[in-house]
């Protein structure tokens, strides 16, 4: 494959056909597609090598439409069903043309991604509900990234790590160059014929989150790496690219309060809410713990906790349910009595005792089944617990402290079906494309369903790479 740019002996060129900024699934799919399309490609990953890949590091599956069962998928998942699921989780906040295009393209991604070295496996233990719709990466998201990087490098894509971009030179909707904080092979400015921005959202940028959430954002934990700072997104929006998605919104789940500030990933999550009650720092319940099944309930507890004082809450349960959910990274805090538990959690003992006594008194008899919306309910308390309500009375009493864990943000750049960015004046950019979380808001105005982020990344990454290479060739 002949490279069209002026290549230096060390393999790094100061002018590329396609510059990809970002290093996750979308960026690598774009880089590989562009390279396969005949372009010379440089990937600038802002993180060090170990932390490469942004949120892709922590993913584990992708949702693709398919008309028949496969080796690893238990049954068909039609385009129409995918579309209905997307419509439901977003409440209609989606671009139908773009979304349907993505869903159609996702069918081919199932095979294309395997050709790039990624390997599938059946759904993991404890995720049977996804066995038909979602394909899991063998070894998880980092294994997927390793495969994509290996393929990209074997194809001749150049990759630079710790490559922080400080400025984008854009004129009349045309990308000209990216400026770097640290030089790469002596160059602090990289020019390219096309740009693919695949640099994620701003979930790790606490200052930016504070614009919408105030001081509460200081108590948020970030599930991915500290490198998802949204700096490229900000530059693009500041330079006239049209925005999409609600800037104030982010996807948040309840994660263990003992988790690290950044990059705790999936293993700090808690899905034990339904087996007990959740109280705030005043030992008061604040929401129906039995409202809905996983995964819907999974995604609401992050913002519920974010709305509580000091952004902290405690899942309280007793010893009868310990083996009902997956083992957790952090052990539950245990005590022989409710008062002792309150002491360990630094809650007012009398208040917690009172809350549990009231709750237990309100529990009506029923037949417990955590796999369906069962008939175990409370009566006469507010908020009620409308399913799975059982008395908390068998010591030891146990608790998990939880905080909001921020997964991703919805603000992004508006794009066309070709993944081409639209400028604020409505005109398509001449040479700028976007893929992945940075443009996810086009399809996913709110809500989430497992594996959709990776679908958006791979589908639009591949499209963006292909289109960027096509532009560079012409």
- For another protein, the closer CB: 23 or 265: 265
Nearest approach, Cβ of 141 to another protein (angstroms)? 7
Residue 344 sits at φ, ψ, to 5 deg, of: -65, -30
Min separation Cβ 159 and another protein, Å: 12
- Token reading at 238: 């500041």
By CB under 8 A, residue 251 contacts another protein: no
Cα–Cα distance, 340 to 96 (Å, whole number): 54
CB 137 within 8 A of CB 143: yes
Burial class (CB in 10 A: 0-12, 13-18, 19+), 154: exposed
User: Is residue 128 a contact residue for another protein (CB under 8 A)?
Assistant: no
Tell me the sheet residues that pair with 313. 402
- Least gap, CB of 328 to another protein (angstroms): 6
Among 2-10, 138-146, 199-207, 390-398, the segment contacting another protein (CB under 8 A): 138-146
Q: Which residues between 15 and 54 bind another protein (CB under 8 A)? A: 50
Q: Does 71 bind another protein (CB under 8 A)?
A: no
Residue 224 or 412: which CB sits closer to another protein?
224
Q: Does the protein bind another protein through residue 260 (CB under 8 A)?
A: yes
Assess 141 for contact with another protein (CB under 8 A): yes
Sole window of 36-44, 134-142, 176-184, 246-254 interacting with another protein (rule: CB under 8 A): 134-142
Q: Near another protein by CB under 8 A, which window of 156-164, 258-266, 356-364, 453-461?
A: 258-266
CB of 265 to another protein, least distance (A): 6
Please tell me whether residue 328 binds another protein under the rule CB under 8 A. yes
The C-alpha atoms of residue 104 and residue 195 are separated, in whole angstroms, by 25
Instruction: Decide: is 140 part of the binding site for another protein (CB under 8 A).
Output: yes
Q: Closest CB to another protein among 26 and 190? A: 26
Is residue 121 a contact residue for another protein (CB under 8 A)? yes
| Binding letters toward another protein, positions 370-409, x by CB under 8 A | ----------------------------------------
Q: Which stretch binds another protein (CB under 8 A): 35-43, 210-218, 310-318, 322-330?
A: 322-330
| Closest to another protein by CB, 183 or 260 | 260
In 219-368, the DSSP E strands lie at: 221-222, 243-244, 250-256, 277-279, 313-318, 333-335
Bridging pattern class, strands 134-137 and 61-63: antiparallel
- Which 190-209 positions form the footprint of another protein (CB under 8 A)? none
d(CA 431, CA 469): 10
Contacting residues for 377 by C-beta, under 8 A, at least 6 apart: 290, 363, 364, 366, 384, 385, 386, 387, 389
- Out of 97, 150, 361, 424, the only residue in the binding site for another protein (CB under 8 A) is 150
Q: Give ∠ CA 109-199-218 in degrees, rounded to 5.
A: 125
Tell which positions 208-247 bind another protein, by CB under 8 A.
none
Question: 């399309």: which residue's tokens?
Answer: 37
> In the numeric block, which tokens belong to residue 7?
């290549």
Asked if 265 interacts with another protein (CB under 8 A), we say yes
CA–CA separation, 81 and 103 (whole Å): 10
138 belongs to the binding site for another protein (CB under 8 A): yes
Lay out the sheet containing 134-137: strands in order across.
61-63, 134-137, 120-121
Stretch that binds another protein, among 143-151, 198-206, 241-249, 340-348 (CB under 8 A): 143-151
CB of residue 120 vs another protein: minimum separation in angstroms? 9
Max CA-CA distance within the chain?
78
Question: Distance of alpha carbon 462 from its chain centroid, rounded?
Answer: 19
Cβ contacts of residue 84 below 8 Å, gap of 6+?
Answer: none
Please report, as ranges, the residues that interact with another protein according to CB under 8 A.
Answer: 50, 57-58, 60, 119, 121-122, 124-126, 136-143, 146, 149-150, 260, 263, 265-267, 323, 326-329
């Amino acid at each position: 494959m002949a490279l069209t740019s002026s290549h230096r002996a060390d393999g790094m060129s100061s002018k590329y056909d396609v510059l990809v900024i970002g290093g996750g699934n979308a960026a690598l799919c774009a880089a590989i597609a562009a390279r396969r399309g005949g372009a010379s490609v440089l990937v600038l990953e802002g993180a060090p090598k170990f932390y490469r890949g942004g949120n892709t590091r922590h993913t584990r599956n992708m949702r693709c439409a398919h008309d028949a069962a496969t080796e690893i998928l238990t049954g068909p998942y039609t385009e129409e069903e995918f579309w209905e699921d997307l419509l439901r989780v977003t409440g209609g906040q989606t671009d139908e043309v773009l979304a349907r295009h993505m869903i159609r393209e996702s069918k081919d991604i199932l095979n294309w991604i395997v050709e790039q070295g990624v390997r599938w496996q059946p759904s993991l233990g404890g995720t049977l509900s996804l066995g038909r719709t979602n394909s899991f990466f063998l070894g998880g998201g980092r294994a997927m990234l390793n495969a994509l990087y290996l393929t990209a490098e074997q194809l001749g894509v150049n990759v630079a790590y710790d490559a922080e971009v400080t400025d984008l030179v854009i004129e009349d909707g045309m990308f000209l160059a990216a400026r770097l904080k640290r030089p790469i092979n002596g160059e602090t400015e990289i020019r390219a014929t096309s740009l693919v921005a695949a640099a994620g959202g701003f979930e790790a940028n606490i200052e930016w989150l504070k614009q919408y959430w105030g001081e509460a954002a200081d108590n948020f934990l970030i599930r991915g790496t500290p490198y998802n700072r949204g700096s490229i997104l900000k530059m693009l929006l500041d330079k006239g690219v049209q925005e999409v998605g609600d800037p104030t919104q982010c996807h948040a789940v309840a994660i263990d309060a003992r988790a690290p500030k950044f990059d705790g990933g999936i293993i700090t999550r808690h899905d034990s809410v339904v087996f007990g009650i959740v109280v705030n720092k005043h030992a008061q319940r604040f929401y129906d713990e039995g409202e809905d099944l996983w995964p819907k309930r999974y995604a609401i507890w992050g913002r519920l906790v974010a709305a509580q004082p000091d952004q902290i809450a405690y899942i309280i349960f007793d010893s009868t349910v310990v083996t009902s959910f997956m083992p957790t990274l952090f052990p539950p805090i245990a005590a022989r009595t409710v008062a002792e538990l309150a002491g360990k959690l630094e809650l007012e003992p009398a208040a917690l005792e009172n809350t549990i006594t009231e709750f237990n008194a309100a529990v009506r008899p029923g037949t417990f089944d955590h796999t369906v919306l069962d008939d175990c309910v409370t009566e006469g308390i507010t908020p009620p617990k409308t399913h799975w309500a059982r008395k908390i009375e068998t010591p030891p009493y146990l608790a998990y402290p939880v905080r909001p864990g921020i997964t991703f943000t919805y603000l992004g750049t508006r794009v066309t079906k070709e993944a081409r960015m639209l400028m604020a004046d409505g005109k398509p950019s001449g040479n700028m494309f976007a893929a992945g979380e940075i443009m996810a808001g086009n399809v996913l105005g709110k809500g989430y369903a497992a594996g959709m982020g990776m679908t958006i990344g791979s589908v639009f990454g591949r499209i963006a790479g292909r289109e960027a290479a096509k532009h560079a060739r012409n």
